[in-house]
Amino acid sequence: MSQLHNTIERSFRRPARSARAAVDMRDRHGGRRMSAGITIAAAVLVLAQLLHLVSFASAFPAGRDPWPAWAALGGILAAGVVCRLITPVMPGWVYLALFTALAVPVGLDVVATWGLLHLGVTPTAAPAAATVLMPVTTLRGRRIPIAVASSIGGVIALLSLAQLPGAGAHVVEGLAIAVWAVLPVVVSAVAVVGFRRLVGRELDLSLVQSTVATPRSAVGMRASEELARLDFDAESLLEDVGSGRLPIPLPADSALRAGQLAAKLRVRLIEGRTDTWLRHAVTESAYLSRRVTVDDPDGVAGLLSPTQRDGLLLALWLLAGERRPRHSSAVAVVVRVRTDALDHDDSVAVLAIEIEVSGVARRHLDPAMWDALGNVGGHEVVSGSESILIELVCPVDPNAPAVASAPRRPNEGKMNA
């Protein structure tokens, strides 16, 4: 049964409704504002290129007209806005068509400005076409917009270098325009990636924070989803028997199905005795589950008060979320919870919690982690070069009632390291 339980823990995925909620929150709380800000920044950069063109438009010789390129770019932008208004979620082929259409203003602009770099005339519609890809990084990922912008910037750079004999020092202006075409898209992509990572971590923490308010032994999202499936399967089987669709005794396949349901229910009943909030919080978190291991065979972590739970969860979050260089080993955290035999009576007990952290040095830890541990209990630290052992002594009330509500996270605390 323990092997089946470990298999279930490793294969856990956040329920679909929770995943959808996380995505909706990411889109509604801050995501749209970032998208709007990037769009405004792109519009300002496009306008700057247009003003740049106006400043040297008189230098174009007869027969060279840069305005068709801008007209083509304006048509593409208008088509993109209309498609976006019609359907908020545009299919991939629409984006592919818009990306391909950008070759028109880029080509017209390159033809209109070719051989004029010695006069200070540089492409304007081409870098503007690359700049309009900035909002796309918030909608369709970052790789394709960066690749398209890099292609446009590469074309501008090659054409500028090809005019080196006649343009002289003006080649620097052409290369600067090539960088202009690529850099804003790269910056916006980096900002979007960082924003999504930050929001994803905070949403995950908010979702698992609900475990702080659970009773001493309770089921989490993983168990509740499994119990719902088991309940549905059991009801379906009983309904088939009651309606006469299945004879008594049961056929071999139905009997096997009933036996499997009974085994899974027994596993859930047995593990429910020691499956505490701490195990739920670690298992159900997309971040903690990869780095944190809980060793609590007696399920005594449920004795911690709401304040202690909140502090321990925040400390584990800060430990597991420590960013490490790529060449370094990953951070691994092992939490061992035991009942200390000392200072134990009917009203007060002491929990001994050991947090073993490997893959990170003490000097790299977030100071807020020590503040969080201060709300759990007194602690001592044994430091190594790449490992830390934190020993916590936590007074608890063994007769405390079930937790009813989660506390607010404390903002102040003393460092006790």
Question: Could you give the CA distance from residue 175 to residue 105 in angstroms, rounded to a whole number?
Answer: 19
Stretches in the chain below the pLDDT threshold 70: 1-31, 88, 214-228, 230-232, 235, 238, 240-244, 246, 248-250, 262-275, 321-329, 340-348, 398-417
Structure token digits, residue 222: 């993983």
CB atoms within 10 A of CB 203: 18
Contacts of 158 (CB under 8 A, 6+ apart): none
Q: Is 414 exposed, middle or buried (0-12, 13-18, 19+ CB in 10 A)?
A: exposed
Phi, psi of 340 (to 5 degrees): -75, 135
Structure token digits, residue 244: 């006469």
Q: What is the pLDDT of residue 346?
A: 53
Structure token digits, residue 260: 């499997």
The answer to whether 302 and 240 are in contact (CB under 8 A) is: no
270: amino acid identity, one letter: I
Radius of gyration of the chain (CA): 31
Q: What is the pLDDT of residue 40?
A: 92
Pairing of β 349-358 and β 292-295: unpaired
In three-state secondary structure terms, 289 is helix
Contacts of 236 (CB under 8 A, 6+ apart): none
Q: What is the pLDDT of residue 242?
A: 63
Question: Could you give the CA distance from residue 119 to residue 112 in angstroms, rounded to a whole number?
Answer: 13
DSSP output for 187-251 = HHHHHHHHHHHHHHHHHHHHHHGGGGGS-SS---HHHHHHHHHHHHHHHHHHHHHHTTSS-SSPP
Q: What is the pLDDT of residue 188?
A: 92
The answer to whether 313 and 279 are in contact (CB under 8 A) is: no
Phi, psi of 336 (to 5 degrees): -115, 125
Q: What is the pLDDT of residue 143?
A: 86
The answer to whether 99 and 144 are in contact (CB under 8 A) is: yes
Q: What is the pLDDT of residue 186?
A: 93
Structure token digits, residue 371: 């503040």
The answer to whether 166 and 88 are in contact (CB under 8 A) is: no
345: amino acid identity, one letter: D
- Per the DSSP assignment, residues forming a β-bridge with 380 are 391
pTM above 0.75, yes or no: no
Task: List C-alpha distances in Å: 190 to 107, 126, 180, 322, 326.
Answer: 28, 22, 16, 20, 18
Express each pLDDT in 38-72 by its tens digit. 889 999 999 999 998 888 888 888 778 888 999 99
Residue 37 zone, left/alpha/beta (φ > 0; ψ -120 to 50; rest):
alpha
Q: What is the pLDDT of residue 369?
A: 87
Selection from 121, 109, 128, 126 nearest residue 65 by Cα: 109
